Each structure stands twice: as C-alpha cells, then as structure tokens.
C-alpha cells in the first residue's frame, strides 16, 4: 500500500487566520484510490523550512501533496522552494495555463498584470496539470529512486479550496498513471440521536464479534451525529466485501432508525429519497420551512442539496414575533400564554408555513441560541422543533414536535444542533416511525 503525506503551506494557517480544509479533501480522495495518508502538516511561508520539510516527507512517503503558497503576491514562495528542491535550472511558461488565466481575468473584468502572467511559469523540472478553476497551475514533480531510495511523487496544488478540490480528479489520474492502484474497502454508517458512549454500549457485543481484519472507528460529531466507519486495506480485500456487508446488516438490525444514511449522506441529502415523487411531476411532494432561532440555517441546509428546487418551496424566517403572527398566523394567544419558545408556537409555525407556501411537509424551529437571553425556565440551548404533514387522503395536517437541549454556550453550535434536530425530526416523520 502506497503512503502519502499532505502539507499545507502558509503563515495564515499557523496564526489561525484560516482553517486548512484542503488536507481533509485530499486525504479522502487518496484513501479512495487505496493510498494511506500517514500524516498531515502545516508549515509557514519560509523557504528553508519548506525545502527541509518537504524533503523529509519525500524520504518517507511515496506521495507528497502540497497546498498553498502559489498566489501572485510576494509572500507566496512555494514555487521557488520547489524549484530549488527539484534542482530546476530555469522556468518555462505553460501556454495551457496561460489561456485559463486570460479567460478568468477577462470574465472577471480584471486587467492582466505581469504578476498574473508569472503564475503560468513553472520550474523546468515540473509537469503541468492545468488548473481550470484558477490562475496557478498544479505542478507534478517525479523523483526517481536515485534521489530518495524509492520513486516519489510531489504535487503542488493551489491553496484556494475549490481550486484544490477541483484539481483532484486530474491529480488522482496522474498518480494512478505513476503507480498501480491498491485496494481498500470503506463503509460508513451515519447515525443520529445517540451519544457516542451510549452508541458504543449498544453495539459492544457486535463490535467484539467483528473479525480482526475489519477495523471500526467512531467518528463522533456533536452536530451531525456519530458515524461508524468500517474499513480494511491490502491486497485481495475486495473478496471480503460480502463479510463486511453482513456485519453492516447486523448493525442496521441493532440501531434501527437511529441510522439515517451511509457514506457522505447528510440529514438533508436523504430527504428527496423519502419524498413521494412518482414520475408524474404533479405528484411531487414539497417542503417548506419556518425558522426562528436557526435564522435561515435549516433552509440553507435543504437548498445545499443540488436539485432541491424540485421539492423545496421556500421558507420564512420569523425572527420578530410580529412576523410569526402576521405571516405565519401563529395566534397571539399562543405567544402570550406559552411564549415564542414553546411546543405550541413551533407547531403553529409548522402548520402556518405549510399553508402559506402550500407545501405537503414542513418543519419549524423556535428556541434560544444564546449566548445572551434565556431564563431559568427556558435557558440558552433549548429549542422546540416541529414537523408537519398534510395527509393527501384526508387533507388533515398531522404535527409532531420535540424539545432539543444543547449544552453548548456557543451560538453557532446551538444553531447547528437545532437545525440538525429539526431535519432529523422531519426525516423520522417521513419514515413514518413517529406516527
């Protein structure tokens, strides 16, 4: 199995101005073609450090993926460091990348400057993989055995996340051309609603019975739930797929509808699968959202799914109480008697938005995200969620609701947890388990 190291370059990472998200995407992509990532690192924009650190990574890895430090400004020095490391004698201009640069600047109405042109220049030791989404080309350096005792590849990617991610397919193809592919098996089960320790306890017996070659990892996330990843590596593992599938089937028996999906599924991405959507477009079921404390997040999550316009009508964020009463028809008596953060209000919001936007399904949130506000009775971190469904046969609307408690002091975390729980309530109602 080939090994890889990933390195992000940039002072902005070391001072905490930006989060390195590229390495995670690259790691996932490499795993997908059977390459094991042994380590991820971030270093500063210092020429000597870059040369020394990348050299040491090349000594102990087959593949080194480098991101960042390729911008047009003066503090980006990765390219010069790579020229030295690879023993380049001069630079050459990539015409193919130059065409992309011209097209991008033209589309954005930006004048071409010498700094832009220079981005198409690469050390003569590099192969160019054209970056179609940005101005800095991807560079491939191939070191033969004489240098590090084994064949080693280095890829230099732009630091801009969508450019780095966008270039990955081409890079994977280049890697496969240099090395025969290795085998890997992964299967990830997504759960929601059980704390990690409770989940671990529930499946302890199942876990004990797993064969040695099947590795289980818990990937807990306090917002999106716990994912369980089963994996095995090495030659001939594809023959073990069936045994892995059997183990997963048992897991489904134990966890039931705590499981909402697999792999890259999210609470919002599974929604379209649960909707009635026969070939006749007129029967397509639709969704609407009413939000208070989540401020648009539930709606944003639903629309993050490509193609959601087919089943999504829209939402009302009723941040002010008058919007709840005027637009969503929440009765004023509910606000007076129970307050805006109440089961009654959440249910009225869910009913109200379904009528207002004429949708089959709806979901609503009303709570206290903090950090300020709240009271002893209704502290920061509580949220009422409600989901509603108009029965197509009786015309009646059924509503379910649940109280969510988040122990976090973070406004952002609370909003995300409230939104996840609202989507989960909708998902459960769609699975008709709650009715």
Binding of its own copies at residue 217 (CB under 8 A)? Answer: yes
Query: Which of 220, 331, 339, 374 contacts its own copies by CB under 8 A?
Result: 220
Q: Which one, 382 or 429, has the nearer CB to its own copies?
A: 382
H/E stretch holding 38 reads: strand 36-43
- Per residue, the 3-state secondary structure of 374-420, as one string, reads CCCCCCCCEEEEEEEEECCCCCCEEEEEEEEECCCCCHHHHHHHHHH
Q: Which one, 122 or 357, has the nearer CB to its own copies?
A: 357
Contact 366, 349 (CB under 8 A): yes
Site string for its own copies, 41-60 (x = CB under 8 A): xxxxx---------------
Burial class of residue 146 in the structure, from the number of CB atoms within 10 Å of its CB (0-12 exposed, 13-18 middle, 19+ buried): exposed
Site string for its own copies, 169-188 (x = CB under 8 A): -----------------x-x
Binding of its own copies at residue 110 (CB under 8 A)? Answer: yes
Q: Which one, 278 or 306, has the nearer CB to its own copies?
A: 306
Site string for its own copies, 300-319 (x = CB under 8 A): x-xxx-xxxx--xxxxxxxx
H/E stretch holding 6 reads: strand 3-9
Nearest to 99 by CA among 130, 66, 56, 58: 130
Sign of the torsion formed by the C-alpha atoms of 82, 87, 93 and 96? negative
For residues 118 and 145, give the distance between their C-alpha atoms in angstroms, rounded to a whole number: 32
Binding of its own copies at residue 196 (CB under 8 A)? Answer: yes
Q: Which one, 88 or 387, has the nearer CB to its own copies?
A: 387
Q: Which one, 94 or 408, has the nearer CB to its own copies?
A: 408
Q: Which one, 244 or 357, has the nearer CB to its own copies?
A: 357
Residues 247-276 that bind its own copies (CB under 8 A): none
Query: Which of 1, 14, 235, 434 contacts its own copies by CB under 8 A?
Result: 14
Q: Which one, 74 or 89, has the nearer CB to its own copies?
A: 74
H/E stretch holding 220 reads: strand 215-221
The number of CA neighbours under 13 Å toward the Cβ of 153 is 21
For residues 398 and 418, give the distance between their C-alpha atoms in angstroms, rounded to a whole number: 21
Residues 131-170 that bind its own copies (CB under 8 A): 133, 160, 162, 165-166
Residues 406-435 that bind its own copies (CB under 8 A): 407-413, 415
Site size toward its own copies, by CB under 8 A: 110
Q: How far is the CB of 128 from its own copies (least distance, A)?
A: 20
Site string for its own copies, 355-374 (x = CB under 8 A): -xxx-----------xxx--
Binding of its own copies at residue 377 (CB under 8 A)? Answer: no
Burial class of residue 107 in the structure, from the number of CB atoms within 10 Å of its CB (0-12 exposed, 13-18 middle, 19+ buried): exposed
């Amino acid at each position: 199995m080939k090994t890889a190291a990933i390195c992000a370059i940039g002072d902005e990472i070391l001072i905490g101005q930006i989060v390195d998200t590229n390495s995670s995407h690259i790691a996932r992509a490499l795993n997908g073609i059977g390459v094991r990532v042994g380590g991820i690192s971030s270093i500063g924009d210092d020429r000597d450090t870059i040369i020394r650190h990348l050299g040491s990574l090349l000594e102990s890895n087959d593949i080194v993926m480098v991101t960042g430090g390729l911008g047009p400004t003066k503090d980006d020095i990765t390219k010069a460091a790579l020229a030295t490391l690879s023993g380049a004698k001069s630079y050459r201009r990539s015409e193919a990348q130059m065409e992309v640069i011209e097209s991008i600047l033209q589309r954005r109405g930006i004048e071409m400057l010498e700094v832009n042109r220079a981005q198409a220049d690469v050390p003569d030791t590099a192969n160019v993989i054209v970056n179609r989404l940005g101005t800095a080309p991807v560079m491939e350096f191939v070191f033969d055995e004489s240098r590090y005792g084994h064949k080693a590849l280095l890829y230099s990617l732009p630091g801009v996340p969508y450019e780095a991610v966008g270039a990955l397919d081409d890079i994977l193809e280049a890697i496969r051309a240099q090395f025969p592919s290795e085998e890997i098996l992964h299967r990830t089960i997504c759960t929601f609603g059980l704390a990690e320790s409770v989940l671990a306890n529930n499946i302890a017996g199942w876990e004990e019975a797993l064969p040695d070659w099947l590795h289980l990892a818990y990937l807990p996330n306090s917002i999106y739930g716990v994912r369980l990843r089963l994996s095995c590596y090495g030659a001939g593992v594809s023959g073990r797929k069936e045994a892995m599938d059997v183990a997963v089937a048992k897991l489904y028996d134990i966890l039931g509808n705590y499981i909402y999906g697999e792999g890259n599924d999210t609470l919002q991405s599974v929604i379209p699968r649960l909707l009635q959507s026969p070939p006749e477009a007129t029967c397509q079921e639709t969704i609407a959202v009413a939000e208070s404390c989540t401020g648009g997040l539930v709606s944003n999550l639903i629309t993050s799914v490509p193609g959601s316009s087919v089943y999504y009508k829209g939402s009302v964020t009723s941040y002010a109480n008058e919007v709840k009463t005027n637009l969503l028809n929440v009765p004023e008596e509910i606000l007076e008697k129970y307050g805006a953060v109440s089961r009654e209000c959440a249910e009225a919001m869910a009913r109200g938005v379904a009528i207002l936007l004429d949708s089959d399904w709806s979901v609503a949130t009303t709570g206290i995200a903090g950090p300020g506000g709240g009271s002893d009775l209704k502290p920061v971190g509580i949220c009422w969620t409600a989901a509603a469904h108009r029965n197509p046969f009786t015309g009646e609307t059924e509503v379910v609701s649940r109280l969510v408690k988040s122990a976090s002091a973070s406004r952002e975390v609370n909003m995300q947890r409230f939104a996840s729980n609202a989507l989960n309530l909708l998902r459960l109602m769609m699975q008709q388990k709650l009715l």
